Amino acid sequence: MRKALILAVALALSGGARAQDFYKDKTIELVVSTGIGSTLDENARLVARHLGDHIPGKPLVVVRNMPGAQHKRAANFLFNQAARDGTSIGALHPVFALAQVLDARGVQYDAAKFEWLGSTSSLNAAIYVAAGHAVKTAADLTKWQVLMGAAGAGSPGAIYPTVMNNLLGAKFYILAGYANVADMNAALERDEIEGRAGQSLNALKLENPEWLRGGKIRVIAQAGLERDPEFPDAPLLSELAGNADEAEALRLLSTDVGLGRVFLNPPETPPARVAILRKALADLVEDEAFRNAAGNAGLDIRFRDGARVQAIVAAMVNARPETIALAKQALQPRDFLDAGKVGDRKE
């Protein structure tokens, strides 16, 4: 027995040593599920510039953009084709994992089988209204109608108001058809719409800081797993639920933004190399040079370790059938308007 234990320890130590040596002169490919220039891409490229310094052997980390199919293209590639030796990392919007639960079309992966390395920040989504509106708190949403701008029925700007209408009894109307964020911002400025949903709080601070400083908008709720510490008075959607079943469905629908900017390895990546990369990411977020660069770029850093992310994803993928059914029901489109019908709303 003693000899077997000694042998096991020796093998573990030698495996760890081999893993430490593995990355010397290697190149790691970091696959990003969006195009160049997105916030997710900017964050991934910042990580790529610094991560190698925290990996034994200091490998080069290069970015490969792979947008398409609502992040499923990159997920399918990483699950089925990417190297499983520790030289492939994914930086994907975790909505791909939620898609596996709610709409499996095009899914060729099991999100729970990826090796999750961690998340550099959450991406809690804001639900906000113009400050002059009668809605002052989330409780007022069942009393007053609010006209929200959105790109289309499947966009975050429409999804969150739809879910809140269906599960919480809110009175949002959704004016869809805006081509881009700039058009929606202009519509809010000229009072064509009265609020927006789905913009991350990080993006809101970065893109529209004057709205927050000048009190033009009021953040009345947020989607995520925990309240953003800079917006402590805005309740989570799950906190607004009328019962436990609704809270569970709303938490499921908030998991992707709550996970935020995640990093992962393909399935079956050797455990010793996963451990090295998890530690490297954890060390990275404490690196002063990285944090300064992130601050200069307007990127929030709120780290969640790989083991915690792995557990959250497993819970999401294995949600109760009743929870999934209620979440799907909550996503059923309703209360959409077009520009020609805005004046037809009844107060």
Residue 29, domain member (yes or no): yes
Q: Clarify whether residues 37 and 80 are in a common domain.
A: yes
pTM given for the model: 0.90
Cα(77)–Cα(62) distance, integer angstroms: 17
Cα(22)–Cα(284) distance, integer angstroms: 19
pLDDT score at 154: 87
Contact indicator for 210, 149 with CB cutoff of 8 Å: no
Q: Clarify whether residues 94 and 151 are in a common domain.
A: no
Contact indicator for 175, 339 with CB cutoff of 8 Å: yes
Over residues 279-322, the pLDDT tens digits come to 999 999 999 999 999 999 999 999 999 999 999 999 999 999 99
CATH of the domain at 82: 3.40.190.150
Average pLDDT, the chain: 92
Over residues 200-253, the pLDDT tens digits come to 999 999 889 999 999 999 999 999 999 999 999 999 999 999 999 999 999 999
Q: Clarify whether residues 339 and 214 are in a common domain.
A: yes
Q: Clarify whether residues 222 and 273 are in a common domain.
A: no
| Token reading at 121 | 């920040």
Q: Clarify whether residues 115 and 146 are in a common domain.
A: no
Count of domains for the chain: 2
CATH of the domain at 201: 3.40.190.10
Residue 271, domain member (yes or no): yes
Residue 251, domain member (yes or no): yes
Q: Clarify whether residues 217 and 275 are in a common domain.
A: no
Residue 321, domain member (yes or no): no
Q: Clarify whether residues 132 and 238 are in a common domain.
A: yes
pLDDT score at 337: 82
Percent of the chain with pLDDT over 70: 92
pLDDT score at 19: 72
Q: Clarify whether residues 179 and 225 are in a common domain.
A: yes
Residue 40, domain member (yes or no): yes
Quickly list H helices, the chain: 2-22, 39-51, 72-80, 95-102, 156-168, 181-189, 201-207, 209-213, 244-259, 271-284, 288-297, 306-317, 321-330
* 288 φ, ψ (degrees, to nearest 5): -60, -40
- The residue segments making up the domain with residue 46 are 17-121+260-302
Q: Clarify whether residues 83 and 211 are in a common domain.
A: no
Residue 289, domain member (yes or no): yes
Residue 8, domain member (yes or no): no
Q: Clarify whether residues 87 and 201 are in a common domain.
A: no
Asked whether residue 129 carries a pLDDT value surpassing 80, the answer given is yes
Q: Clarify whether residues 229 and 274 are in a common domain.
A: no
Q: Clarify whether residues 21 and 133 are in a common domain.
A: no
Asked whether residue 88 carries a pLDDT value surpassing 70, the answer given is yes
Residue 280, domain member (yes or no): yes
